[in-house]
Structure 1
Amino acid sequence: MKSKFVLVLFFLMAISSSVYAAKTAFDEYIIGPGDVLEIIVWKEPDFTRDATVRPDGRITLPLIDDVMAAGKTPMQLKEEIQKKLQEYIDLPVVTVIVKEINSKFYYMIGEIKSPGAYSLSKPMTILQALAVAGGFTEWANKDKIMVLRFKEGKRIVLHFSYEQAVKGKDINDFNLMPDDIVLVP
């Protein structure tokens, strides 16, 4: 009986490690300006607070002043805050929680019913983005949709055909990235 339990436990551990091995762009959240963070310092209520990441990417905390938050994961920021607090607190234990995502957007323009900026707080495909924006106007060219994206400092153009996608052919429905512009001519 004990060996069956060990075998099942080993199997579950193998499955869970393979699930974590398949990472996507949304697995490691990168903090950005406008995000609201909850900084918790265990057993230190004077240091525990919410902090909004300023446009310059920093947050301000008691005694340690400005800390660069933008461009870091919550775990990286936690480690930096813990290191800086060691001057004032013995063995600080810090938790960083992203309470509000306000720094990631994609933009919908052209012949759609509701153009504008949309929050990218979870993975979003082009088809999902078109649905959120209310669909097309009557003059939309659904076969020539473009996604404008910055990659390595250059603007690239990715093409998407709604007509092909709804026919079940050549479905290239990919995830949008922060600052993508979906252009529906």
Structure 2
Amino acid sequence: MKKIMIGLFALLIASACGLANAEDVMLGPSDVVKISVYANPDLALETRITQAGTITFPLLGQVTVGGMTVSAAETKLAGLLAAGGFVRKAQVNILVTTQQSQLVSVLGQVTKPGRYPVDGKPGLIDVLALAGGVLPDGGDVVYLIRKRDGVKTKEVVDLPEVMRSGDLNQNLDLITGDVVYVERAPRFYIYGEVQKPGAYRLERNMTVQQVLSVGGGLTPRGTERGMRIKHRDSAGNVTERAAKQEDVVQIDDVITVK
């Protein structure tokens, strides 16, 4: 249910925020554009912008459009055609058919990992919606890795907290080159005299009593007095202790029922 709420919320936000106007899309290297000039079909062109940000246009030759918005590039081409005496009052239209310059990467436990266009300033939740949302095995925390002014940073966003609070300040704006990563949800392991031993998703503040319930409860041979917890700390040291029902289980804890 939580994952469904996150997915629906993300789609609603994407619809509410909307994508940027086509004229505001920034052109860049490797983008494929289709250019037409009103009443001049011989000037129609579909081409890929070079790494230097240029295109080769009929009559004009090489023109730099990289780093410009679509509307600015249209105005520039129209001005050059008019200035050269080729077309009076040229009306130029540019359609971006493939955008590869303005992309963010979405990785990890999402339905469709890959690279997605960032038209305008989409938020983190919007891009997760484009990637199909978080998988059931995905964690609650999303990592955003980005570079600003030459400095790499890592932001941590708690998705359930965003849902509960409705605080869209955490719907961080993304730009080209940002990386969104959803790691696998934390797990615990339960073995021994329980009905369904195995590995399970660890929910927040989960107690040993709740873990036993997830494991189907004790077998007729099992006893709560024989429960043990093994825990590995950040340094790799393993400790083992008796488990009580009210104990809070931590990531990768192993609960054994004798």
TM-score normalized by structure 2? 0.52
**Counterpart position of 1:184:** 182
Amino acid at match of 2:150: G
**Counterpart position of 2:97:** 100
Tell me the alpha carbon deviations over residues 22-74 of structure 1, each in whole angstroms, 9 at most, x when there is no partner. xx994522112233323222333322323332333211111211111110112
**Counterpart position of 2:199:** none
CA–CA distance in 2 between the matches of 1:110 and 1:52?
Answer: 30
**Counterpart position of 1:174:** 172
CA–CA distance in 2 between the matches of 1:113 and 1:47?
Answer: 42
* Shift of residue 109, structure 1, vs aligned partner: 2.0
Identify which of structures 1 and 2 has the higher relative contact order when contacts are C-alpha pairs closer than 8 Å and 6+ apart.
1
In structure 2, stretches of 5+ residues that fail to align are 1-17, 184-258
In structure 1, stretches of 5+ residues that fail to align are 1-23
Q: How does 1:98-137 map to 2 (within 5 A)?
A: 98-103=95-100, 104-121=102-119, 124-131=122-129, 132-136=131-135
CA–CA distance in 1 between the matches of 2:147 and 2:29?
Answer: 18
Whether 1:32 aligns to 2:35 is: no
Do the aligned partners of 2:145 and 2:152 also contact (CA within 8 Å) in 1?
yes
**Counterpart position of 2:77:** 81
Alignment identity in percent? 20
**Counterpart position of 2:63:** 67
Whether 1:146 aligns to 2:160 is: no
Do the aligned partners of 1:113 and 1:137 also contact (CA within 8 Å) in 2?
no
Amino acid at match of 1:117: R
Quick check: which one's strand share is greater? 2
Tell me the alpha carbon deviations over residues 59-100 of structure 1, each in whole angstroms, 9 at most, x when there is no partner. 111121111111011232223223332224252413132242
CA–CA distance in 1 between the matches of 2:105 and 2:54?
Answer: 25
Number of corresponding residues? 160
CA–CA distance in 1 between the matches of 2:42 and 2:136?
Answer: 54
CA RMSD of aligned residues (A): 2.9
Q: Select the structure of larger CA radius of gyration.
A: 2
Task: Classify 1:114/1:73 alpha carbon distance in 2 versus 1 (closer, same or farther; 3 Å).
Answer: closer
* Shift of residue 146, structure 1, vs aligned partner: 1.8
Q: How does 1:12-23 map to 2 (within 5 A)?
A: none
Task: Classify 1:181/1:92 alpha carbon distance in 2 versus 1 (closer, same or farther; 3 Å).
Answer: same
Q: How does 1:41-52 map to 2 (within 5 A)?
A: 41-52=37-48
Do the aligned partners of 1:147 and 1:181 also contact (CA within 8 Å) in 2?
yes
User: Which of 154, 161, 167 is the matching residue for 1:157?
Assistant: 154
Amino acid at match of 2:65: A
* Shift of residue 101, structure 1, vs aligned partner: 4.0
